[in-house]
Structure 1
């Protein structure tokens, strides 16, 4: 498999990596020179003034599993009991897995067929050794979804035949339990960067899934941008995804102010759990939604995601194109 530079933009076969790891330091922590990539929102509901989503009618207690799932043309495959893809690379919890801190503040989303919820996708991942796992991804364009690097490429599993690019991923936009309002698409076409695929460095833990269809034109997508340290720590972070500790294939949302940032990571006390690896960490600006990080890790007091700095933005823009 050929490895290309960021500038080349040429892929070889079904998977490719960008030679990310030597970008100049002056790209970090500064606003992008061009406007952020815009989302496509269709019938988006207005966000709240505090930078969080409007959630009328959704349940907010821990014991909230009685949501009615509407009949749909498509039915999801059974995945109860499948493990978070993060465990393939990092082992079983609590080793770097996503975490609920204190009371569980996550809210179940029931109207997953509307924007922005339909942008977030449940993933059924088949690794090289045919083991199956769950994860989350989100649309950034008609045929491109962002996710964590460890979703598309497994590192250091210790299991013979498991490491490397996964075989395929079934993508289910806006899934709500057994209901698939937009069906599903299976892809074997992935992207990541050498900082992850070669080194397993969590600072470079991001990747993409390229679909063989333009399903994103139906679901819409999130924008994304590069923001300064000051912008980020003044922002409210939003995360929605498919945690494995909740009923199979249900989508859950939480939000909270960004806690801190460094040159490659964004930290937040937003509740998540295994299965949400690859979720978007996004902010709302003037009613528009812009991703600022890719959720990937847990911690004792904060969870964290790979920050969208200039080099990450450039790869995302290339993968979107």
Structure 2
């Protein structure tokens, strides 16, 4: 099945790029999508940096990896992070394209292996500020289980403690890899402020909504975009953003 891989929209980059992907065959899409009307010359769906250090996570049900999941919207795919009993964290531009029909497979390890099945979207709320961030709530599965009954929600850490040079990892479902396989990218923080974190870990289309973790495997930011050959960017989970998450977590 042909799907579109959603990359990262950021206010500073002004655009979501989308690429068509059919299993291993990937090509750039034309920029005529409604999400692509303000294309920046700096924006790239493919933010593979010189120190590309990505490896596949085979044991997706262990540790903090269980909190990551594959977002499937039929023609579009992305990543989400479980933060509560029924709730995930992802990007605004992901929810813009879901049309209320998002499916979420926690701990997916490939397109035929969903250890905890799939959950269907119930509702979503978008952060009303500039940050490209949203929460999505899900129905119980066909066994009557809540999302938080089958996996442990992620532990949220303090991003303000992150310093330039600190190690981080970005974990999600990049579209240049086999469909619905989880990959972790290692890197270091390049800069960190109340509104933006930059780092040198590589990502690809499909990493929208990926978690950025510190060395304690605590979620400190949500990946949203990048500039080819320069850096990737995330939203630190602090201040008004963290309040929004807590107020809309169920």
Deviations 1:183-221 (A, max 9, x none): 0011041111223xxxxx4xx110111112322232112
Runs of 4+ in 1 over 4 A off after TM superposition: 91-94
Residue 266 (str. 1) matches residue 200 (str. 2): no
Question: Is 1:294 the counterpart of 2:208 in the alignment?
Answer: no
In the alignment, what sits opposite 2:25? none
CA separation of 1:172 and 1:94: change in aligned 2, threshold 3 A: farther
Structure 1 residue 184 and structure 2 residue 132: aligned?
Answer: no
CA separation in 1, counterparts of 2:193 and 2:108? Answer: 33
TM-score (ref. length: structure 2): 0.78
Match of 2:206 in 1: 275
Structure 1 gap segments, 5+ residues each: 1-77, 127-131, 155-164, 196-200
Task: Give 1 or 2 for the bigger CA radius of gyration.
Answer: 1
1:207 aligns with 2:155: no
Range moving further from structure 2, 176-185 or 84-93: 84-93
* Per-residue deviation, 1:263: 3.1
> For 1:1-321, what aligned pairs fall within 5 Å after superposition?
78=1, 80-84=2-6, 86=16, 87=18, 89-90=35-36, 95-102=43-50, 104-125=52-73, 132-153=75-96, 166-177=99-110, 178-195=112-129, 201=130, 204-213=131-140, 214-228=146-160, 231-233=162-164, 235-285=166-216, 289-300=217-228, 301-321=230-250
The answer as to whether partners of 1:137 and 1:278 remain within 8 angstroms in 2 is yes
1:149 CA drift (Å) = 1.4
Change (3 A) 1:264 1:98: farther
Deviation at 1:249, TM superposition (A): 1.1
Larger strand share, 1 or 2: 2
In the alignment, the residues of structure 2 paired with residue 225 and residue 113 of structure 1 have an alpha-carbon distance, to the nearest angstrom, of 20
Aligned length in residues: 217
Q: Deviations over 1:67-102 (max 9, x none)?
A: xxxxxxxxxxx5x54332642524789734351112
Give unpaired runs (5+ residues) of structure 2: 8-15, 19-32, 141-145
SS of aligned partner of 1:189: strand
